[in-house]
Amino acid sequence: MKEKVKIGYIGLGRRGKSVLKNSYSQMSDVEIVMLCDLSQNRLEAGKQIVLENGGYEPALTTDYREVIHHPDIDAVVIMIGWSGRPQMAMESMKAGKYTAIEVGCADTIDECFDLIRTYEETKAPLMMLENCCYGRREMMVLRMVREGLFGELVHCTGGYHHYLNAEDLFKGIDTDEIPHYRIGHYERCNRENYPTHELGPISKVLNINRGNRMVRLSSFASKSVGLKHYAGETFGADSRHAKKEYKQGDIVNTIITCAGGETIQLTLDTTLPRAYYSRNFSVRGTKAMSSEEGHVVYFPEMGDGIRENETEMFAKYDHPLHAEYVSKGVKAGHGGMDWLVNRAFVESVKHGCNTPIDAYDTVAWMAIGPLSEQSIAMNGAPVEIPDFTNGKWENPAPALAGKYSLDVICEDPDVSVV
Amino acid sequence: MKEKVKIGYIGLGRRGKSVLKNSYSQMSDVEIVMLCDLSQNRLEAGKQIVLENGGYEPALTTDYREVIHHPDIDAVVIMIGWSGRPQMAMESMKAGKYTAIEVGCADTIDECFDLIRTYEETKAPLMMLENCCYGRREMMVLRMVREGLFGELVHCTGGYHHYLNAEDLFKGIDTDEIPHYRIGHYERCNRENYPTHELGPISKVLNINRGNRMVRLSSFASKSVGLKHYAGETFGADSRHAKKEYKQGDIVNTIITCAGGETIQLTLDTTLPRAYYSRNFSVRGTKAMSSEEGHVVYFPEMGDGIRENETEMFAKYDHPLHAEYVSKGVKAGHGGMDWLVNRAFVESVKHGCNTPIDAYDTVAWMAIGPLSEQSIAMNGAPVEIPDFTNGKWENPAPALAGKYSLDVICEDPDVSVV
């Protein structure tokens, strides 16, 4: 087992900086060997974060290839915008590095196949840093499912219900700030562009790539009026932002059918006013139901009309990782799940094991974006989801154990294979 | 205007009896001329209800044709099970009667076309008694939409989230009680079998058949395991109910696309344990959002993280019909909406006007069942929704006014055309 994990870190935008600050630079067994960004200001800010948290001074570069080919680096963390990640990840894997990428979709299906071919050639682990897989609610439900408390699973829902107009999409437009890269995607594409926060945890619950797989999807987009309306109200009806056409429909619904007969319903909902953030995570089985909207985990013996019992349920069914984590004091962003997912990556590197979210998971989730775009363009015609495992989902590799495992419920700190 | 509305009433099962008791027999300007059912016991029980509420003694018959051809009867109310309603309704319309049918789908698309042809030949008004169109939440949102407070509408959701296993589907099985007729549908069909509670109000909000129409749908069913599981637990694994195959998937999702670019997402959810009943009625526009799950009506100026403000919103935006109704004391079942929808039918007969839910609405909603079945059978392939108006949706008949109108917000008690 490695004493120290040596990290090369690419991308110091808002998210990259935050994760560096709250996770990697706080880990005493992690050394940030090199930071990479195109902006000198961001590089300097990143260096200060590392130094303030007691790290060695990292090397700085604007060339990501320097990071990837750095002989001392064990693992590369890629925090750049949505596009370009697969190419960078493939170079990193070819250089033999453990590779982590922030959440998001591929631009094209070809990128997904390229990633999987690269993984199969190099065997360099690839992990999407899907923090919501380590969310407290999601992990409690995962534990209960693994313990059989939900019976046979039938249906899951998830959504990215997050109003982004002011927060992300138009932030920095018409000011000196750099605009968020996402707005360009909303101009060019009409698709489920951000499914993994919900699909990650759902995939784990449904054993996708571990005895089950996603077989086909259909996607449907509403008209696109939210961005234009917002731009008109904010910048004026004659502003270029209000006159622009945005391809992205305001609400996108996607239905995925799995090999086991389960269905998954996903919703993207980011450009219309909404009252509260929700990932609408719900799991339905023959013996139980969980619902984020109702803040409830339910067994039939509770009777009818039950809501808002999650606090009791956490007390009873918290995943051991969260129980430990909560008792020690939650660290980092988003209720601790940012820390946990990055810690899971570091632990895998330390132990020389595969990552709990592996290359097949990563690619299956990244593929939803381009596949949904195809379906929307065909008025919701069903689109087959490629089997990136090439049949291996039916006889998957042995489960990963250790306390960060998403396969089994395990309190053992060491990652291993069971 | 008629002083008295003379009603012939067919079907005295659980629902028929309840509506007779709580609505029609309580209306002083309604005379129940004849009751019809195949069971003498039910007929006797129905007669007692009418007499107890001060009505004249109704004639009793087991032959529905006697009701339909009764010369004194103005209007026929059909409360029989799902199948057979269209045929009975057509006979009633051909006899020149105002005709009301309980909520539910057609068995086939042919039935829908037959109904519309009959309506266009006879001009006898046909109304589905979709009580949820008169629900308090639904009417508040309708009022707010009509007043422009939601801006441009983009997306609606609805669901029939109602766990029926014990309540309906297996009730009376293996006892002397008559089993609920619905269980037969669950054995034979796989479809969205009960969409109108949510689709009715949504159609009104989106002006379906009045400037807008539903263009196509796709439907997706999960596997079917809830009924078998329940039967196994309740009657034993070896019971015939546990060994039977049920075609109906446990969760059915349907996405409808409208001519105006709006999308509608519907869910049928009746056979898996669930924590609470919900119709998941939500409406999304450029200026506001409403959500039954969050019990919220939302404007962006409220800031982020708003839930549970419906009580305030009712105080401010109650539909005038509900405001009046609540102030006078709510009558009848389901929070008053049973009374209101039946009253709306009676008022239309009294005034000799068309019904606020008309033949085109009725048929458009009834068609969702068979169309969803087609789509499910084709793995979710999109199915065109026939335009039963034959183009008239683009230049619809003048709006109906009066306080029961679903077209305009109007406090005038008299039904009229504006």
Identify from B152, B222, B257 which residue to disrupt to test chain A contact, counting A C-beta atoms within 10 A and taking the largest count. B222
Question: Are the CB atoms for A376 and A249 separated by under 8 Å?
Answer: yes
Q: Can you give the pLDDT at residue B415? A: 81
Residue that is written with structure tokens 């009657």 in the block: B235
Strand pairing of B214-221 and B383-384? Answer: antiparallel
**Interchain CB distance below 8 Å, A223 and B260:** yes
**Interchain CB distance below 8 Å, A222 and B154:** yes
Q: Which two tokens stand for residue A42?
A: 């961001």
Q: Does residue B332 register a pLDDT over 70?
A: no
Q: Does residue A386 register a pLDDT over 90?
A: yes
Read off the pLDDT of each residue in B138-150 and give the average, rounded to a whole number.
98
Read off the pLDDT of each residue in B224-236 and give the average, rounded to a whole number.
97
Contacts of A305 (CB under 8 A, 6+ apart): B275, B276, B277
Partners of A287 on chain B (C-beta within 8 Å) are 229, 273
Q: Can you give the pLDDT at residue B91? A: 98
User: Is the Cα torsion angle B242, B243, B244, B248 positive or negative in sign?
Assistant: positive
Read off the pLDDT of each residue in B350-372 and give the average, rounded to a whole number.
97
Burial of A247 (0-12, 13-18, 19+ CB in 10 A): middle
| Residue A177 to chain B, least CA–CA distance (Å) | 23
**Interchain CB distance below 8 Å, B307 and A275:** yes
Task: Give the burial string for A385-401 (b: 16+ CB within 10 Å, else e).
Answer: bbbbbeeebeebeeebb
How large a percentage of chain B has pLDDT more than 70? 99
Read off the pLDDT of each residue in A248-255 and give the average, rounded to a whole number.
98
CA distance A364 to A387: 8
Helices A14-22 and A40-52: angle between axes, nearest 10 degrees: 10
Q: What angle do CA B343, B347, B352 make, to 5 degrees?
A: 150
| Residue B135 to chain A, least CA–CA distance (Å) | 19
Question: Are the CB atoms for A375 and A218 separated by under 8 Å?
Answer: yes
**Interchain CB distance below 8 Å, A265 and B263:** no
Q: Does residue B333 register a pLDDT over 80?
A: no
| Residue B71 to chain A, least CA–CA distance (Å) | 47
Q: How many CB atoms lie within 10 A of CB B123?
A: 11
Q: Does residue B286 register a pLDDT over 80?
A: yes
Q: Does residue A418 register a pLDDT over 80?
A: no
Residue that is written with structure tokens 């596009």 in the block: A83
Q: What would the pLDDT profile of B148-192 be if each residue is shown by its tens digit?
A: 999 999 999 999 999 999 888 998 888 878 888 999 999 999 999
Q: Can you give the pLDDT at residue B320? A: 95
Q: If you average pLDDT over every residue of chain B, what do you get?
A: 96
CA distance B131 to A317: 41
**Interchain CB distance below 8 Å, B155 and A218:** no
Read off the pLDDT of each residue in B309-335 and give the average, rounded to a whole number.
86
B359 band by pLDDT with thresholds 50, 70 and 90:
very high
Q: Can you give the pLDDT at residue A326? A: 79
Nearest to B361 by CA among B347, B339, B345: B345
| Residue A217 to chain B, least CA–CA distance (Å) | 9
Q: Can you give the pLDDT at residue A31? A: 98
Q: Does residue B401 register a pLDDT over 70?
A: yes
Q: Which residue of B has its CA nearest to A223?
A: B261
Q: Can you give the pLDDT at residue B413? A: 86
CA distance B408 to B356: 10
Q: Which two tokens stand for residue A105?
A: 């979709």
What DSSP state is assigned to residue B194? Answer: -
Q: Can you give the pLDDT at residue A143? A: 98
How large a percentage of chain A has pLDDT more than 70? 99
Helix, strand, coil % (nearest 5) of chain A? 40, 20, 45
What DSSP state is assigned to residue A103? Answer: S
Q: What would the pLDDT profile of A149-158 be if each residue is shown by its tens digit?
A: 999 999 999 9
A260 band by pLDDT with thresholds 50, 70 and 90:
very high
Q: Does residue A109 register a pLDDT over 70?
A: yes
Question: Are the CB atoms for A2 and A350 separated by under 8 Å?
Answer: yes
Partners of A273 on chain B (C-beta within 8 Å) are 286-289, 298-300
Helices A136-146 and A196-205: angle between axes, nearest 10 degrees: 20
Of the candidate ranges A309-318, B121-130, B173-182, the one whose mean pLDDT is the lowest: B173-182
| Residue B124 to chain A, least CA–CA distance (Å) | 36
Partners of B237 on chain A (C-beta within 8 Å) are none
Identify from A141, A154, A383 which residue to disrupt to test chain B contact, counting B C-beta atoms within 10 A and taking the largest count. A154
Residue that is written with structure tokens 């006889």 in the block: A395
Q: Which residue of A has its CA nearest to B225?
A: A286
Which of B154, B255, B274 comes nearest A250 by C-beta? B154
Q: What angle do CA B348, B352, B355 make, to 5 degrees?
A: 35
| Residue A9 to chain B, least CA–CA distance (Å) | 33
Q: What would the pLDDT profile of A36-88 be if each residue is shown by its tens digit?
A: 999 999 999 999 999 999 999 999 999 999 999 999 999 999 999 999 999 99
Question: Are the CB atoms for A278 and A122 separated by under 8 Å?
Answer: no
Chain A with chain B: Cβ pairs closer than 8 A = 171
A111: left (phi over 0), alpha (psi -120 to 50) or beta: alpha
Partners of A277 on chain B (C-beta within 8 Å) are 304-305
Side-by-side strand order, sheet with A75-78 = A59-61, A30-36, A5-10, A75-78, A98-101, A126-128
A90 band by pLDDT with thresholds 50, 70 and 90:
very high
B314 band by pLDDT with thresholds 50, 70 and 90:
very high
What DSSP state is assigned to residue B233? Answer: H
Residue that is written with structure tokens 């291996």 in the block: A392
Residues in chain B: 418
Q: If you average pLDDT over every residue of chain A, what do you get?
A: 96
Q: Which residue of A has its CA nearest to B301?
A: A273
Q: Can you give the pLDDT at residue A173? A: 84
Read off the pLDDT of each residue in B308-322 and give the average, rounded to a whole number.
96
Within B39-135, residue ranges assigned H as helices are 40-52, 64-68, 85-94, 109-122
Identify from A156, A224, A262, A286 which residue to disrupt to test chain B contact, counting B C-beta atoms within 10 A and taking the largest count. A286
Question: Are the CB atoms for A181 and A79 separated by under 8 Å?
Answer: no
Q: What are residue B360's phi and psi, to 5 degrees?
A: -65, -40
Q: Which residue of B has its CA nearest to A297?
A: B275
Strand pairing of B126-128 and B214-221? Answer: unpaired
CA distance B254 to B107: 17
Which of B216, B222, B300 comes nearest A273 by C-beta? B300
Q: Does residue A332 register a pLDDT over 70?
A: no
Task: Please tell me the pTM assigned to this model.
Answer: 0.97
Q: Can you give the pLDDT at residue A227? A: 97
Complex ipTM > 0.90: yes
Which of A152, A255, A307 comes nearest B276 by C-beta? A307
A177 band by pLDDT with thresholds 50, 70 and 90:
confident
Q: What would the pLDDT profile of B24-37 be if each residue is shown by its tens digit?
A: 999 999 999 999 99
Q: What Å distances lie between residue A365 and A105, A146, A193, CA to CA?
A: 7, 21, 11
A417 band by pLDDT with thresholds 50, 70 and 90:
confident
Q: Which residue of B has its CA nearest to A381?
A: B381
Which of A225, A300, A380 comes nearest B218 by C-beta? A380
Q: Which residue of B has its CA nearest to A257?
A: B222
A166 band by pLDDT with thresholds 50, 70 and 90:
confident
Q: What would the pLDDT profile of A345-361 be if each residue is shown by its tens digit?
A: 999 999 999 999 999 99
CA distance B167 to B174: 14
Q: Does residue B331 register a pLDDT over 80?
A: no
Which of B221, B250, B255 comes nearest A253 by C-beta? B255
Within A236-387, residue ranges assigned H as helices are 240-243, 310-317, 320-328, 337-351, 359-366, 368-377
Q: How many CB atoms lie within 10 A of CB B121?
A: 11
Positions of E strands within A240-299? 251-258, 263-269, 282-285, 289-291, 296-298
Partners of A310 on chain B (C-beta within 8 Å) are none
Question: Are the CB atoms for A126 and A89 separated by under 8 Å?
Answer: yes
Q: What Å distances lie between residue B294 and A307, B313, B320, CA to CA?
A: 12, 13, 24
A93, HSE (Cβ side, Cα atoms, 13 Å):
25
| Residue B268, SS3 per DSSP | strand
Identify from A217, A255, A264, A384 which residue to disrupt to test chain B contact, counting B C-beta atoms within 10 A and taking the largest count. A255
Q: Does residue A194 register a pLDDT over 80?
A: yes
| Residue B368 to chain A, least CA–CA distance (Å) | 17
**Interchain CB distance below 8 Å, A293 and B293:** yes
Positions of E strands within B94-152? 98-101, 126-128
What is the DSSP code string of A151-206? -SEEEEEEEEE---IIIIITTTTTSSSPPPTHHHHHHH--S----HHHHHHHHHHT
Q: What would the pLDDT profile of B36-84 be if each residue is shown by its tens digit?
A: 999 999 999 999 999 999 999 999 999 999 999 999 999 999 999 999 9
Question: Are the CB atoms for B284 and A251 separated by under 8 Å?
Answer: yes
Q: Can you give the pLDDT at residue B339? A: 93
Q: Can you give the pLDDT at residue B335? A: 73
| Residue B252 to chain A, least CA–CA distance (Å) | 9
